[in-house]
Structure 1
């Protein structure tokens, strides 16, 4: 029996407790719903604020991108304008230099014409008598002191002394300024050339090092020594692949003999070796002899061996002797043919000598 069945119906205490429980549950539920609504409103407010921030950030980002694009456009226009201005300045500077050079050239030509009209040249070319290969060799074999002395004499003719006598202060300052600008220009050109030479030397060293590294990697890929391709002389041409060079350990002479027909010789050697082994095996076998009670075999002659194997050995020996005799005869024939050829050559030489004597 349960409590509800025990306290049922008319018990006021039970009804009061049930009402209290329901009211407590209702209050808890109301509190939970209020807390949930507060939390929900709080989350909605935060989400709304985040969305507003996101919208503001999008607007600010769009404005910033627009400003960056405008700034980039202005920078590009300014750069293009500077490039065009620089190009125009270079063209004008080049035109000005060409005009100045042309004016100087015209002035020099006019001065030379005036000088030619007023007087003759300030130097004389003396004709060297007997100028030839010997004189050119003497010119090349001059000592350092002689060349230095000739250089000083030549410079004394070419470089005119600085004439500043009788010049006013303004002209002296202008002359000094001109000389100073010349010195600055020459030093600037010298410095530029030195820096250019340094850069070129560095580039050459870097390129050589790169080439060396590439050749090392190439040699390693081919299975060669790393320094094989970086030497003074080029490497030998490889006639075999990387696999053959590592697996085939035969020397170059052996490979050359194979290429020149050595395979046939090797095949013959293998065949001869095989037959010689079989022959030794056959000759070394246990020879069977006829029993004594068997009697003499029919057809046996005086001096014949006792067994058929002995007859075979005798036949083999006779064949070998015949082969040796044939080889000796062939050698004799070859020697006789060589002697005949030598005699014919001697006779031809004698006939030619006689014909030459008759012609003389």
Structure 2
């Protein structure tokens, strides 16, 4: 084996050892990294499990709270319904007792013999409505009750009907009754049915009579409004509607019909002294402005193109016009390539930088002095021109 082959084998062996060391080191690092990732994954799973348990507890508490709230709401609604039903039942019982008392008094009054009715005995402390058999408060209460009954819905009427029937129609107790007793009970029921049918017929006839009275009163009111409108010279149907009639701006006896609108007619009554005053002030203002323009036209200074200010103004105007012309005609140009940035100059020494700064400051001061001198010269020229103009005048 030659020396070169030995060197090559030595290099290959060293290279192989280095690669094995690198591979072992990589495996060690990979093992540590894997252990670290597994630890992080384990912690993450633990946190997720813990969070899941907390969320489940919160949801269970929330569901329990909602269930209790729903039960409480249902219980309150049931209590409210029961209270309302109890109050309605008591109210219907009182109304039924009152109706039965009135029915009994009516039957008693019908059974009594007819007596003369020309003696009226007044007692001290009686109210005005007592002479008529019922007080004004009772009438007002009946009216309010009737209005409340009219405002009820169909479902409410059905509920009231069921409650009243349950109170009025009581179950029959026929156990242990003989035939004669059953016949007597059937006879009483038949008499009750006949009385109820007669009351129903009387109420229907009363309703018809009241409807007729309402129609008659409405017709009377219509005739009264018609006669009132005729007395005022209005259309007979003017006061029949819900709203009052429109205001007539012009007379209806004019030979020529006025086709103008209400706005045009109303303008005839607008204006007056204020409009006249405004017109006079406007005219006076125009006259004064015209006289001022005529007087001050000859006193205006003449245009002197030699004046430096005028030169500057004309130069600025010319530049603006040129800029406007350039802006009016847009020209498309391709984007130019950016020039290469020059290399940064080498840093200067500190002494050289200070000298350059001093030179720049001196140059700025000289420029400011020159500008001040030019401004003073311009002011002197303007004063001389003004003096010459005054002398010429």
- TM-score of the pair, normalised by structure 2: 0.31
TM-score (norm. length: structure 1): 0.33
